[in-house]
Structure 1
Amino acid sequence: MARTGRPRAFDKDEKLAAALNLFWSRGYAATSVQDLVDALGVERGSIYAAFGDKRDLYLEAVKLYWRQYEVELETAMRSVPLLPALRWALTNPVHLEQFATDLGVPQGCLMGNTSAELLPRDTDAQVIVAHSYQRFVDIVSDALQLAQERGEVVDTAPASAQAQMLLFFVQGFSLVSRAGPDKALSLAAVDAAIDSLRV
């Protein structure tokens, strides 16, 4: 009878979530395979067997990050009125201390961090990031279109252009927030962006 090998002795989803926290806290380049071994409590060979190499694991973690964020974003964008929900979406980088773990505090948006660290040389990462950015624009654009029809948001620009502006804002804001600017000034900038959409 052929041997089937030993069954995996850990929850793959749980370990992927732990890897996400580590990568988000430290970045891709600064996270070694040994760091992953220590943080996940899994042997190196088991990590390779379950996820592939470090890059494969990182890309899976980035996809998990986006899946979780997209659920939150879609839920928020169904809110009426919309502008408070948009403010929540834009202020996420300021409130990342809520995600503090034993591994440290996540630094900015992981999609933005991936753009800065791996693009354009990593085409697989580029596809993942481009998809997430387009999904952000699509989700927010649909919500803005409905808000325009309700008379809540100005219609001097197409909803798609407004959504693209907010993507640029939130990604720029996320990167700048890593430098630790004054939180009150950061929130004032968000309020100014929201006020520019208000009727």
Structure 2
Amino acid sequence: MSAGNKQKRSESSPIGRPRGFDRDAALLAAMRTFWKQGYEGTSIQDLVTAMGVNKPSLYSTFGCKEEVFREAVELYDRLEGRATTQSLAEAATAREAVETMLRANARAYAVSKGPRGCMIVLSSLLGAPENEGVRAFLAKNRLDGEMALRARLARGVAEGDLGPSADLDSLASFYTTVLEGLSIQARDGASEQKLNMVINVAMLAWPAD
């Protein structure tokens, strides 16, 4: 092989990866595919088609399907988790934080275009034994969200807007379950109005003192 040919080969894209390959754009495409079809419903062929790469390139760049999914979930948290993060951080009281979190997510879940509901909740219904690692990963992700909510409730107690007798574990678990239920309702086609009706009832469970 001539020196010129070696130079050309060294400047070309890795085998199977198109010139100008954008890893971030490919991961975003993977995230949307998992979000729409779920983990078990998404094949490697679905991913390579959506991401614009072939199988060797996908494996060399991202690793196995599970690794692509884990990165996709992290991206989803950064992009779509802002409604929850901002609600918990910026609301003046614990009650406002919870209600704002629920309504902001209801609005996001009920979009007219693109996948509806929460990717993390909708991807969690896994049956194959070989996917136990993914199931555990998603369960931890949801538990982390519940713990973040509990921490905000504890801040409410410390700041005096939530009574000291409030059962923080039960409240965090309850409103996390409501949030996850809104996701299922949205995927089934529920309107934002219907989701907000559910939230109206859920907020009646807020402690009186």
Question: Same fold by TM (over 0.5)?
Answer: yes
| C-alpha contact (below 8 Å) 2:121/2:183 kept by paired residues | yes
Aligned-pair distance for 1:6?
A: 4.6
Moved more, 147-156 or 124-133: 147-156
Deviation at 1:120, TM superposition (A): 6.7
Q: Once structures 1 and 2 are overlaid, which stretch shifts more, 61-70 or 131-140? A: 61-70
Q: Report if aligned partners of 1:114, 1:125 keep a CA contact under 8 Å in 2.
A: no
For the Cα contact (< 8 Å) 1:119–1:126, is it kept in 2? Answer: no
The count of residues paired between Structure 1 and Structure 2 equals: 195
Which structure is larger by alpha-carbon Rg, 1 or 2?
2
- TM-score for the superposition, normalised by structure 2: 0.75
Structure 2 residue corresponding to 1:64, chosen from 71, 75, 81: 75
Gaps of 5+ in 2: 1-8
Is 1:131 aligned to residue 131 of structure 2? no
- Is residue 84 of structure 2 the alignment partner of residue 73 of structure 1? yes
Aligned residues of 1:24 and 1:106 also touching (Cα < 8 A): yes
Structure 1 window deviating more from structure 2 (124-133 vs 152-161): it is: 152-161
- What is the percentage of aligned positions where both structures have the same residue? 26
Partner of 1:110: 119
Report the CA distance shift for 1:29/1:132 in structure 2 as closer, same or farther (over 3 A). closer
CA contact (8 A) 2:29 2:50 kept: yes
Cα deviation for residue 171 of structure 1 reads 1.3
Partner deviation per Cα, 1:8-51 (whole Å, 9 max, x = no partner):
64232331122101211222333333332332222332112111
Read off the aligned partner of 1:84 and give its amino acid letter.
E
Q: Which residues in structure 2 correspond to 1:1-199 (within 5 Å)?
A: 6=13, 9-70=20-81, 72-78=83-89, 79-91=91-103, 92-98=105-111, 100=113, 105-117=114-126, 122-197=131-206, 199=208
- State the TM-score, normalizing by the size of structure 1: 0.79
* Contact 2:110-2:190 at 8 Å conserved across structures: no
Mean Cα deviation higher: 164-173 or 178-187: 178-187
**Structure 1: segments with no counterpart, 5+ residues:** none
CA RMSD of aligned residues (A): 3.0
Secondary structure of 1:116 counterpart: coil
